[in-house]
Structure 1
Amino acid sequence: MQFTQIEYFLMVARLEHMSKAALELEISQSSLSKTIARLEDDIGVPLFDRKGKSIHLNEYGRIFYKKAKKALDDLQEAKTEIQELANIQEDSIAINVMNSKLLPKLFFDFYKKRPNVKIRQYVLPDKLAQQKLIFGDIDLMIVINPIVDQRIEWVPLFTEEIFLVVPKNHPLATKESVSLIEAKDEMFIVSETGQNFRATENHLFEKAGFTPKIAFEGEDLSIILQLVNEGKGISFIFQHSFLDTYLDNVKILKISNPVCFQTVGIAWNKNRKSSFVVNSFRDFAISFLKDSANKDFSN
C-alpha cells in the first residue's frame, strides 16, 4: 500500500466522482482508476459500489476512509511539529508589550534560538490588547497586574519599583527621595482610566491617603513623560522603563512612603491552542524575564 494510493482514495471518496477527482488531482482518469483498483486488490475487497458512472463508498470503504483520513491527518500534524522543532518552517508570534528595557534582549536571544521566527510586536492600549488576546489576534501580552478574566491565564514574571518623576526646576527636584504625600497639592499627569498602570497609580494615591489633582490623562506613557519633561506636571515611571533615556529635563525620585512596586506578568488565552513556537517563546520569556529582572534588581 502506497501513500499516493491513500491520497487518491480519499479524494475519490470525498467527491464520489472519478472524473472530478482526476481533475482535482491533475492526473488522467484512467491512471486514477488503475490506482484505486490496485489499492482494492492490495486490501482484498472493493471499497466502492459502482453503478454506471456513479461511485459510492461501501461498508468496507467507509471503514477504510475513517482510518485512512485519521492516519493522514496524524502524519501531517507530526510533520508540522517536527518542522517547527527543527526551525524548518517559519512561524510567527504576535505579542503586545509594555515599554521595558528588558524586552529587546529577550527578543534578540530568542531569535538566536529560532532564527526563522517572525515576531509581530504591538504596544496597544490594555483594553484593546486584551480583546485581541481573547479573539486570537495576538498570542501573548506582557502587562502589569493580573487580568481578571476566566479565559486568560496570567503568570507573574517580576516585581519592579515605581518612581516619581518631576521637572528639574520643581521644588521636589532638590530631593533624592520623597514621601508621596508631599506631592498631594501637585498637578499629576496620569494614565487613562482603564489602563492597567492607572490602577497601579490609583492604588498608590489611596495608600498615600489623598486624591490627586489631575491635569492630563493619556494612554501613551511616552507622551505623559514628555509633558513632565516640558514642565506641565509630575507623574510616575517604573524601574525597567527605557523612556527615561529621552528625558533631559526631569528628576527621578525614589518614593519612600508608601512602598511603590508593581508586578509584571505574561498573559495568554488558555482556551485557545497555541502553536509550538508560541509556547516555546512563552516558556523562554518566563525564564528569561524572571532571571533578568532579578539580576538587574540586585545591581
Structure 2
Amino acid sequence: MSPVWYAAGAGVRRGWTELRQTFTTGQDVFGYVLWTVLLMVPLFLAGDDPLAGAGISTGAFMLPSMLGMTLAFTGVMTTAQLLATEREDGTLLRAKAVPHGMVGYLTGKIIMVSGTALVSMALPFALGVFMVDGVARQGGGALLTLVWVVPLGLLATLPMGAVIGSLVNSPRAVGLMMLPVMGLIVVSGIYFPLSELPGWLQTVGQVFPMYWLGLGLRAALLPAEAVAAEIGGSWRYLETVGVLGAWAVAGLLLAPAVLRRMARRESGAAMAERRQKAMQRVG
C-alpha cells in the first residue's frame, strides 16, 4: 500500500473515532439536541397552517428546507471552525510534521463533518415527520433523489468550508460570519417559498448552495403537488445538479491550493504568535 493511501486510511479511522466521540461528549451531545430544538420551534409554530396553492402545510414545506440548511451550514461553518481552531491550537502543525499527515488530517475531517451533518439532519427529520403531515411518503423515488442530493451537497459545501477555515485568522472570525449566514437563510427559501421574494432577492438566493439543497430535499420528501410553490412550478433537477456541481468543482479546485498555502505558512513561531494574541484578548 502506498504511503498516501495508508495516510488516507488512517484519516478515515481518525474521522470515525472523532465522530463517535461526539456521541459521548456532553458538549457535543448538547449541541445536537440544541440544534434539533432550534429547528423544531419554528416547525411547531407553523404547525398545519396551509401553504397557499401548494396542497401542503407550511410546516411540511419547512422541514426538508431546514434539513438542506443544516447540511449547508454544517458543511461550511463546521469545517471552517474546525480548521481555524486546530490551526490555532497546533493540531495542523503536528499533522504537517508527519509524512502525508495533511492527507490523513483532511480525510479525517471529511469523515467527521459528513457524519456530523448526517446526524444533525437525521434527528430533526425523525421528530419532524411526526409533527407535520405529507413528508417522506414518496417511496423509492425519494430515496433515489436523496442518494445524489446529499453527497453532492457535501461536495459543494465541505471544500468551501476548508477554504474559509484556511483564510481566516482565528475561530472568532468564523463566528462573525454568522451574520451574513443568517441573511442568506432569509433569501434561500428556508421558511417560506423563494417565489414570494422580489426578483433580485430570488437571484441572490439562487447563487448559493443553501437554496438548491433545500429544493432538492423538498423534491425528495414532498408530494408532487407541492411543486406549485417553487419558482417556475418545477423541481428543476438539472439546475440543482448544475449549481451544486459548479460549487463542488470550484471548491475542489480552490481548496487544495489554499490549503497548501496555509500549510506552507504554518510554523511554530506563527502558532505562538496567534496564541499570544489570543491570550492578550482574554486578558
**TM-score bracket for the superposition, by shorter chain length:** under 0.3
When you count helix as a share of all residues, which structure comes out higher? 2
Larger RCO (CA under 8 A, 6+ residues apart): 2
Give the strand-richer structure, 1 or 2. 1
TM-score (norm 2): 0.24
**Larger Cα Rg: Structure 1 or Structure 2?**
1
TM-score by length of 1: 0.23
